Structures are given as C-alpha cells and as structure tokens.
DNA sequence: ACTCAAGATGTAATCGATTACAAAAATCGA
DNA sequence: TCGATTTTTGTAATCGATTACATCTTGAGT
C-alpha cells in the first residue's frame, strides 16, 4: 500500500479550474481573493467552474507563497486545567474572527516538551505566539525570542521590553485577600502554594507577603504549604494543618482546586468551614460555584483575558502597533461566598472543646 | 509599516546553507532527512554550516512538496469540558511520539463553527481527523466524508463502514448503573439528560431504558429531566425534583457536572444524599473525587481513549490498515462511593416527617 | 473614428523545500 | 591500471498557489 494511499481520488488544482472556465490561473486567483479586480462576467464564469469542480485552494501553497500561515501557537502548561481551557476559548473566539487558527502547545507540565514548540516557531509554522507560561522557552542555540516573531505573554509579566504582557492583577488580588481575611478578624494565616517554579506562584506569594506586611504582621504569623496547582496539594496542606498545635484561622489557596481539596479534607476531621477555619481560593473556576460550602474566591476574567491577548497579538502581527508600552493588567473580582467568615474564637483549642 | 514588518531580519534558506557548505541543496536536504545517503565528510561539513547559520527548514515548503502536513484535526464540542481536555491529552501524547501536531477544532457547542473545520480538511491542512462528536460535519456542497482523508470517530459510533470508531461502552455502563441502583432497592428512577441532540446522550438514555426494562419496570417508573451537559442542568432537575409529590429515589445523571449540581441543590433543601436520594454520575472527572459527598460514578478511560484513537488514526494515515472492522469499545469502571446507598424508606413523605 | 487612460487578463517568476534522473567520483576485482 | 559497479553528488522539475509586469480590451472624450 503506497504511503499516500489515503489521498483523495480527485485533487483539483487552480489550473483545472482555469481550464474549465477558459481563463488563466491568475484570473481564478483574483476572483477568489479580490473579486473587484475582474469583470462580472468572468467572475461568474470562474465561480461556476469553482462550484462545479468543488475546488478549494491548497492552503499550504498559499502559505508558502504569501509567507503567512494564519496560525498562532498557544503554549500552555497544562490543558486539563480549566483556567487554561477557558482562556483558550477567549483566544479562539478572537482569532476565529480574523481567520486565524490555533496550534496547541501543551507542555503538560513537562518542560522538555518546549523544544517541540520552539521548532514550530523556527520552522515558520505560525505567525505569532501566545505564552500562557511566565517565561520564553529556550531551545538549543536559538529561541523564540530571536525568531523575531510577535509574542504576547499572558501569565505574570515577562521581563522583556520587546514582549507585551496581558495579565491579571494577581499580586494585588492576593494582597486584598489577606486584607479581607484580616478585616474578618483573622491574625494567623496559612498559604497553600501553587507550582513553586511558576511565575504565577511567585506573584501570588509576593502579594500575600505584601498583605501580611500591610496589616502589620510578620513572617512568623503564617505558614506556607507547598505543592503544584492541583487538588491533592490542598489535601496535603489539610493533613499538615490538622496536626498543628496552633492552627491558622485564615487560609489562602493559590488556586481553587487546592482550596477545595483542603476543605474536603478538613471537613472529614469534623472541622467546620467557615466557623473553625476560613478559606479563600483563587481563579473562580466553574466548579467553585458547586463546592460545599460555596467557595469564596477571586474570579479571573479568563475569557476576556484570552480575547484581549489574542487581540494584542493580532495587532502586532498586522504591524498595527509596536511591542513597547503594551502591558495590560485586568482586575479580578472577589466573590464573597460561604467559606469565609469572622473569627469566632481566639483560641482554637477551647473552640474544639466547646464544640465536640 | 509594511505588512510583513514582523518578519525575522535574517531568514536562512536551504540554498544559503548549501553555499556555505559548498554543496548543492539536494545534498543539504539529504543530510537532514536521510543522513546515511551522504559521505561522512560531507555530512559533517553540512551540519557545521547548518549550525553556524542557525538554519531550520521551512516546514510549509516541506509540506507542499511532500504533500504531508504532519497535522491532525481534533474536533471537539467544547474545550472547557474536562472530559475532552483529558482525551486530548491522550491524543497529544500519542501524536507527539510520531511527530504529528494537533489543530484544535473547538465547536464550542455552536454547530455553525463546523464550516471552519471542514475547510481545514478541504484545503488540505491536515492529514487526518479525530471526531469527538458523534457525526461527521457537513459543509456546503462537499464534506469531510468525501475528502478521502482518514477519520476516526471517538464518540458514540458513527454509522459508516469507512470510519472506524474508538469509543467507550456507555450504553452498557448506563444499563449497569440502573441495575446497580435496583440492587440497592430503588424502584423509582430519575434520569438527568445531557445535550439532547448529542449521540452520547441517546446512547446513554438508550442504555438507561434497557436497564429499566431489564429490571421489569416501564416508562412510568422514571422521570427524565432534560438539559445540556452542564452543572445547571442538575440544578434545574433538582428544582423539579423537590416539587414532586412522589419522588424517585435513584437518580442517574448523564455527566458528573449535572450530578453535582443536583446534589448541591437538593442538599440546600435539607434532602440528604444518599439517605434520601441516591445519585450516580458519569465520566469520573477529577473533581468528582472532591464533591461532598464523594460522587459514585463511572470512570471513563479518557487518556487511554485518546491514545488508542490517535493510534488508529496514525495507522490509517500510514496506510498500515484499512478502515473496516476497526471498532474498539473500551470498558468503564464503576466507582462505588458515597452518593449511593440502599433505600431506607419506601414512603418518602413519612421520611420527611420523621426527620425534621 | 481615433487617441489614450483605465481596466481586465495573461505570462512567467516566485515562495523553499524534495526528489527523479543524470553525472561524477569512489571502490573493487582482475 | 583499467573497466565495471556502486556510491555520492548535482541539475532541474515539481508541489500549487500568488503577483509583478506585460499585453490586450474597453470605453470616454474629442
């Protein structure tokens, strides 16, 4: 069986259409791309030939000739994460309007996969790149950076004047989270981290520490539990939490998954949320609406983030703007729901005694 | 500003490398694609030139010449659905091993988006198609079906001998769900549907009715609540449920989201799960592990489904097999957890009185 | 009817690789 | 060392479109 055994039986080229319509290939091309440049009568004849032959231009040939691929690479750390999936929807909506396609660069949290996507750039398979990671992938001798291709960062800011960033204000939001808990009377805090090497994590932890400082507390007034952005990180944090002598009462989780994992686990120990411990998440993914109790969290404008990022990239590709001075920072919304509340007892141990 | 203002300053072509190495373009090409065909000395000289110039072949030109794009189109109804995201991971793992890329066809539940992806096929931008939908998109005069491109169905079986299906046994599983609830003593059932027009839904509902018949009951012994595969469908079902006189005690939901939406809502009415009503979901997505109570559900082998589907498609593309007689059906696993239990009271009204 | 500009169409180069075929170089045996 | 054979390399056609430039039509103005 030949290697190309699967190919369509009939493959119609522009020359076939030209012959059928009795014109040159140039005319057929013009009819399809710039109809005003040909006479109505010719136009109709060509269109008729196109219809009858079922011709669709070979887009690879178009790409080669025009040097535009109409594709954009979106590099994401992990596709199963609903945050990235939702951003992707926004990106897709915007790109589709302009006829651009998406090629997914799913790192699946494995950094060695980067090489593959850098190659897509170097071999000119895309016209631009959206980075949902906080850094520019390197690869061998050359990198995306040197390719000259437009890149937009959509994670925490990439420090490079040539690269515009479209991000959310996670530092500010995290800081607000601490202040919000403090206003409810909390004075001992827990911080459940995300993936340590990620820039998002360091932004959020940075904001957290700013908040701690802002309310006049110090490094001694909080504990930090570490792990990636997944449910089980919250579960592990909860297990450390229940073993503590002097438990914090206000918990900030760097993502909703770990917040929910934490809550599920502490409730199994008959610790009540929010009466015994308040928990605040981050992201505002859909299932946080359905957790028990409903999660207090910051909702990211994910769809908008995707749309704005894609829009900036398209402007860059079209040469309608330069990279400098494009750092957009979208605000987050605090959803005050059921997992946070005022501190009931200063001394948690006495609380336990009184309840059980 | 010129239209191509973004393009890299230096663009190295194969001819540049050839000149640098003092050989012809044919030799450079051979060094890169079939190194054994050239003398070691030439090989080294060419590689040195490649390294020094930072050459990467223009893959669009390669595609045009070889008529292979090394891309596969994956058509999915909705990307934010964790089920599809997980399948996609499996697909990605398998395709990456063979050097193929993924182009995402996200329908976002809007059927009119199909045209765009049919065009990708007709304009020969992909070598094959994986359908996570239950039907082949049509478009204008021609369709994917006529393109002659290999297609693999990964939803409920597509009825076309030319198209292999790699699917899960959802009909059997749903039937088993009914029998499982019946074994716990349930005799009045509720069925929370998924998107009505989807083939998955009709498969699952079909299995449900088979189960009802198998335990000797009839159409009068269950109610069906309709809606798409989302949380709010379960919420709406719950609202109808609480208004009922003679409530069912065994609920099957066609997806975990609606099962969780249902549970969240009935608990708000102080109806207990599973003491008052048992709920069984479908899919086994990650957050079903963290719902309260932990959801009883069928776990789909999503990652494996993706890998197997991609593998079948690659075999088809390579001409290593024919489409006929390739219908793979993967089994599901029942996760018996906390939302199902034996029937406690035959008469639910007396139950309410006795409890509150 | 004639000129000339504007508009429509055709010819052929081009995008950047791969590869059939031809030509040259290396290898081998006698 | 010579010719036959095998291996290596080069030349040029090819994939299928777009588009600069040349050429031919059309129609307005006089």
Residues A102, B103: C-beta atoms closer than 8 Å = yes
pLDDT exceeds cutoff 50 at B1: no
Distance from CA of A337 to the nearest CA of B (A): 15
Q: Stretch B1-21: mean pLDDT, rounded?
A: 70
Distance from CA of A225 to the nearest CA of B (A): 19
- Residues on chain B touching A118 (C-beta within 8 angstroms): none
Residues A8, B147: C-beta atoms closer than 8 Å = yes
Give Cβ neighbours of residue B255 (< 8 Å, ≥ 6 apart): B83, B194, B229, B281, B282, B283
B123 CA to C30 C1' distance (Å): 60
What pLDDT was estimated at residue B327?
86
Chain B (125-164) residues lying within 8 Å, Cβ to Cβ, of chain A: 125, 127-128, 141-142, 147-150
Distance from CA of A299 to the nearest CA of B (A): 16
The pair phi, psi for residue A331, each rounded to 5°, is -80, 160
What pLDDT was estimated at residue B2?
35
DSSP state of A240: H
Chain B interface disruption, residue of A55, A79, A107, most B CBs within 10 A? A79
Residue B11 three-state SS: coil
Contacts across the A-B interface (CB distance below 8 Å): 174
Contact indicator for B77, B132 with CB cutoff of 8 Å = yes
Residue A166 three-state SS: strand
How far apart, in whole angstroms, are the C-alpha atoms of residue B288 and residue B257? 8
- Residues on chain A touching B1 (C-beta within 8 angstroms): 319-320
Instruction: Report the candidate in A256, A263, A135 with the shortest Cα–Cα distance to residue A200.
Output: A135
- Residues on chain B touching A292 (C-beta within 8 angstroms): 264, 267, 291-292
Chain B (62-91) residues lying within 8 Å, Cβ to Cβ, of chain A: 63-64, 67, 69, 71, 79-80, 82, 85-86, 88-89
- Residues on chain A touching B6 (C-beta within 8 angstroms): 127-128, 148-150, 316-317, 319
> Is B3's Cβ below 8 Å from some Cβ in A?
yes
Chain B residue with minimal CA distance to A80?
Answer: B85
Omega into B293 within 30° of 0, i.e. cis? yes
Tens digit of pLDDT at every position of chain A (356 positions): 333 334 444 689 999 999 999 999 999 999 999 999 999 999 999 999 999 999 999 999 999 999 999 999 999 998 888 999 999 999 999 999 999 999 989 998 888 889 999 999 999 999 999 999 988 888 877 788 888 899 999 988 788 888 999 999 999 999 999 999 999 999 999 999 999 988 999 999 999 999 999 999 999 999 999 999 999 999 999 999 999 999 999 999 999 999 999 999 999 999 999 999 999 999 999 999 999 999 999 999 999 999 999 999 999 999 887 766 678 999 999 999 999 999 985 544 444 444 43
On strand C, nucleotides with any atom < 7 Å from a protein CB are 7-12, 14-20
Nearest by CB: B123 against A56, A86, A231: A56
Nearest by CB: B2 against A127, A128, A319: A319
What pLDDT was estimated at residue B326?
77
Contact indicator for A6, B149 with CB cutoff of 8 Å = yes
Contact indicator for B339, B264 with CB cutoff of 8 Å = no
Q: Stretch B323-338: mean pLDDT, rounded?
A: 89
What pLDDT was estimated at residue B353?
41
Residues A148, B85: C-beta atoms closer than 8 Å = no
Contact indicator for A119, B56 with CB cutoff of 8 Å = yes
Chain A (255-284) residues lying within 8 Å, Cβ to Cβ, of chain B: 257, 260-261, 264, 267
On strand D, nucleotides with any atom < 7 Å from a protein CB are 7-12, 14-20
Q: Which of A182-196, A316-330, B12-26, B72-86 has the lowest mean pLDDT?
A: A316-330
Tell me how far apart the terminal alpha carbons of chain B are, to the nearest angstrom.
Answer: 75
* Mean pLDDT, all residues of chain B: 91
What pLDDT was estimated at residue B328?
92
Residues A1, B319: C-beta atoms closer than 8 Å = yes
What pLDDT was estimated at residue A356?
37
What pLDDT was estimated at residue B346?
52
Contact indicator for B295, B337 with CB cutoff of 8 Å = yes
Residue A230 three-state SS: coil
What pLDDT was estimated at residue A324?
67
**Sign for the pseudo-dihedral over CA of B284, B285, B286, B288:** negative
Q: What angle do CA A159, A162, A167 make, to 5 degrees?
A: 55
Domains of chain B (ranges; CATH) run: 1-55 (1.10.260.40), 70-168+302-331 (3.40.50.2300), 170-300+335-355 (3.40.50.2300)
Chain B (284-303) residues lying within 8 Å, Cβ to Cβ, of chain A: 286-287, 289-292
Residues B124, A2: C-beta atoms closer than 8 Å = no
Residue B345 binned pLDDT confidence (cut-offs 50, 70, 90):
low
Instruction: Report the candidate in B180, B313, B196 with the shortest Cα–Cα distance to residue B252.
Output: B180
Instruction: Report the candidate in B275, B207, B281, B200 with the shortest Cα–Cα distance to residue B237.
Output: B281
- Residues on chain B touching A287 (C-beta within 8 angstroms): 231, 257, 260, 287
In percent, the amount of chain B with pLDDT more than 90 equals 79
Residue B350 binned pLDDT confidence (cut-offs 50, 70, 90):
very low
What pLDDT was estimated at residue B161?
84
pLDDT exceeds cutoff 80 at B315: yes
> Is A123's Cβ below 8 Å from some Cβ in B?
yes
Residues B290, A319: C-beta atoms closer than 8 Å = no
Chain A (158-217) residues lying within 8 Å, Cβ to Cβ, of chain B: none
pLDDT exceeds cutoff 80 at B317: yes
Give the tens place of pLDDT for each residue, B46-63: 999 999 999 999 999 999
Chain A residue with minimal CA distance to B60?
Answer: A64
A38 CA to D25 C1' distance (Å): 13
- Residues on chain A touching B142 (C-beta within 8 angstroms): 54, 56
B244 CA to D3 C1' distance (Å): 101
pLDDT exceeds cutoff 60 at B22: yes
Residue B7 binned pLDDT confidence (cut-offs 50, 70, 90):
very low
Nearest by CB: A142 against B54, B148, B264: B54
Give the tens place of pLDDT for each residue, B215-239: 999 999 999 999 999 999 999 999 9
How far apart, in whole angstroms, are the C-alpha atoms of residue B223 and residue B177? 16
How far apart, in whole angstroms, are the C-alpha atoms of residue A14 and residue A31? 11
Gyration radius of chain B over CA positions? 27
What pLDDT was estimated at residue B325?
65
Chain A interface disruption, residue of B64, B80, B272, B302, most A CBs within 10 A? B80
Nearest by CB: A3 against B124, B148, B319: B319
Give Cβ neighbours of residue B268 (< 8 Å, ≥ 6 apart): none
């Amino acid at each position: 069986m030949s290697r190309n055994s699967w190919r369509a039986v009939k493959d119609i080229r522009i020359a076939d259409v030209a012959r059928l319509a009795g014109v040159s290939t140039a005319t057929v091309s013009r009819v399809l791309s710039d109809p005003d440049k040909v006479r109505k009568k010719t136009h109709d004849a060509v269109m008729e030939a196109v219809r009858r032959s079922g011709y669709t231009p070979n887009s690879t040939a178009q790409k080669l000739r025009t040097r535009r691929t109409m594709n954009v690479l979106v590099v994401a750390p992990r596709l199963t994460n609903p945050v990235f999936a939702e951003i992707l929807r926004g990106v897709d909506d915007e790109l589709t309007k302009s006829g651009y396609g998406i090629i997914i660069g799913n790192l699946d949290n494995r950094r060695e996969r980067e090489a593959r996507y850098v190659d897509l750039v170097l071999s000119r398979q895309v016209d631009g790149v959206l980075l949902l990671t906080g850094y520019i992938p390197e690869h061998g001798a050359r990198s995306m950076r040197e390719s000259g291709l437009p890149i937009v960062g959509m994670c925490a800011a990439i420090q490079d004047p040539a690269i515009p960033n479209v991000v959310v204000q996670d530092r500010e939001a995290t800081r607000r989270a601490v202040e919000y808990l403090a206003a409810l009377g909390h004075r001992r805090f827990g911080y459940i981290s995300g993936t340590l090497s990620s820039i998002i994590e360091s932004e959020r932890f940075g904001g957290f520490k700013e908040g701690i400082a802002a309310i006049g507390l110090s490094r001694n007034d909080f504990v930090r539990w570490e792990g990636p952005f997944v449910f089980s990180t919250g579960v592990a944090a909860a297990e450390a939490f229940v073993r503590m002598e002097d438990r914090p009462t206000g918990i900030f989780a760097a993502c909703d998954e770990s917040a929910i994992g934490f809550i599920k686990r502490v409730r199994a120990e008959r610790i009540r949320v929010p009466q015994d411990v308040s928990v605040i998440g981050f992201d505002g993914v859909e299932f946080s609406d359905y957790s028990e109790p409903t999660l207090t969290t910051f909702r990211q404008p994910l769809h908008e983030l995707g749309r704005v990022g894609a829009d900036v990239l398209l402007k860059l590709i079209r040469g309608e703007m330069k990279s400098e001075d494009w750092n957009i920072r979208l605000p987050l919304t605090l959803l005050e729901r059921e997992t946070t509340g005022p501190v009931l007892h200063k001394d948690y141990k006495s609380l336990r005694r009184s309840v059980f």
